[in-house]
Amino acid sequence: MSLPPGSVSGETKFTEQGEIITYRYGNKETAVYELGCGLSGLMKASHPATRYTVEDNADYLAIAEELAANGELAYRELTDSTPGFYDYYYETTVVNEISLMNMGSRPARRATGDRTKSSLRAIPWVFAWAQSRVTMPGWFGTGTAIKDYMHGDPARIIAMQKMHDEWPFFHNFISSVQMALFKADTDIMKEYARLCDDRITETLIYDLLKKEHDITQAQILLTIQDSKLLSRQYLELRNSVYARDHFLKPLNYIQSILLARKDEDGDPAEQKLNTDTLLRSIKAIASSIRNTG
């Protein structure tokens, strides 16, 4: 329903991540529910009688262009211009361990030993950040972009709030950012940050992530005019994520401990046990988070 009017014309395609297939289609009841949701959305979006078609609001498009430019600038400042960023990424996430798992059709990275952007692949990039509860690709830069646009101007704040209420595309975008923010955990993020070899890099990158996380949460709450994320129509999703978090946190702490042990010299049998347990933790966390890459 959030797609541009006229772009859906009675046809759809379902593409699912491998680890999600069993969860969604493992029994008749859940399969019928999932397909029913998709097909009902398809019919609503396709039939003129169920959708009031309006022209894109030129003012909203202009605001979106400005937000996109500012958000990209903030994102590139972190990923392209911050010293040690990719060392932090490779040392504090499970991106290397993903390559050891029997999953995916491509290697997790293009060149072993290359700690640059050119070595990355999109899905492992998102997957690894999700595992360490950073979920950075889902929100970083959004808060700065909104803050730079609003700039404390009441008129611009009202414009942003109206755009959220009236434009389905932007409403859906903000909902996705909310979910990514809600699944992030700055305390757990700090545990993984300690795995970084260089203490200066650890502090620098963690502080940048934490600062933008806090800014984004504050700006999103101002935009949706609420006091907490995923409330109102997303209350069921909020409760589901919150309930799973009781299982997720211990798994994350276990995984961070195992990551710290992976390079230690020791008994080969013990190292194999640690590696096997680490891979199991990746699968367990992926199953609990439910959106991984």
pLDDT digits 0-9 by tens, 86-102? 999 999 999 989 878 76
Three-state DSSP class for residue 109: strand
33 neighbors 23 (Cβ within 8 angstroms): no
- List, for residues 103-113, the tens digit of each pLDDT value: 554 555 555 66
Closest CA to 57 of 170, 223, 173: 170
- List, for residues 193-204, the tens digit of each pLDDT value: 999 999 999 999
- Residue 291: pLDDT band (50, 70, 90) is low
> Distances from the Cα of 21 to the Cαs of 33, 97, 102, 249, 255, in angstroms?
13, 22, 16, 24, 24
- List, for residues 227-260, the tens digit of each pLDDT value: 998 887 777 877 888 888 888 999 999 999 999 9
4 neighbors 170 (Cβ within 8 angstroms): no
